[in-house]
Amino acid sequence: MPELPEVETTCRGIEPHLAGTRVHHVTVRQKQLRWPVPGALAREIAGAQIRQVTRRAKYLLIGTSQGTLIIHLGMSGSLRIVDDSEAPGKHDHIDLHFGDSRLLRYTDPRRFGAWLWCTQPVEQHPLLAALGPEPLGDSFHGDYLFHQSRGRKLAIKSFIMDSHILAGVGNIYANEALFRAGIHPLRAAGRISRARHAVLADAIRDVLEAAIHQGGTTLRDFLNSEGKPGYFRQSLEVYGRTSDPCPRCGTPIREIRSGQRSTFYCPRCQR
Candidates 80-88, 167-175, 202-210, 245-253; binding stretch for DNA (CB under 7 A): 167-175
What's the rounded Cα separation, in Å, for the pair 149 and 160? 10
Query: Any contact of residue 3 with DNA (CB under 7 A)?
Result: yes
Residues 206-225 that bind DNA (CB under 7 A): 217-222
Sequential DSSP letters for 13-58: HHHHHHTT-B--EEEES--BSSSBPPHHHHHHHTTPBEEEEEEETT
- Report how far apart, in Å, the C-alpha atoms of 32 and of each of 37, 83, 104, 149 are: 7, 25, 19, 37
Among residues 85, 124, 138, 151, the one that binds DNA under rule CB under 7 A: 151
| Range 110-129, binding DNA (CB under 7 A) | 110-112, 127
Near DNA in 188-207, by CB under 7 A = none
Stretch of residues binding DNA (CB under 7 A), selected from 9-17, 39-47, 99-107, 165-173 = 165-173
Inter-residue contact 48 to 33 (CB < 8 Å): no
Q: Is 61 helix (H, G, I), strand (E, B) or coil?
A: strand
Instruction: Tell me whether residue 3 is one of the annotated catalytic residues.
Output: yes
User: Cβ of residue 117: shortest distance to DNA, in angstroms?
Assistant: 16
- Report strand pairing: 261-265 vs 92-97: unpaired
- CB of 48 or CB of 216, closer to DNA: 216
Which residue(s) pair with 255 in the sheet? 264
Dihedrals φ, ψ of 181, to 5°?
-85, -10
Within 34-93, which residues bind DNA (CB under 7 A)?
A: 34, 57-59, 72, 74-75, 90-91
- Compare residues 98 and 239 and give the one whose CB is closer to DNA: 239
Considering the candidates 55, 58, 80, 241, report the single residue annotated as catalytic: 58
Judged by CB, which is closer to DNA: 102, or 111?
Answer: 111
Distance between CA atoms of residues 249 and 132, nearest Å: 34
> Contact positions toward DNA, by CB under 7 A?
1-3, 6, 32, 34, 57-59, 72, 74-75, 90-91, 109-112, 127, 151-155, 158, 161, 163-164, 168, 170-172, 217-222, 259-262
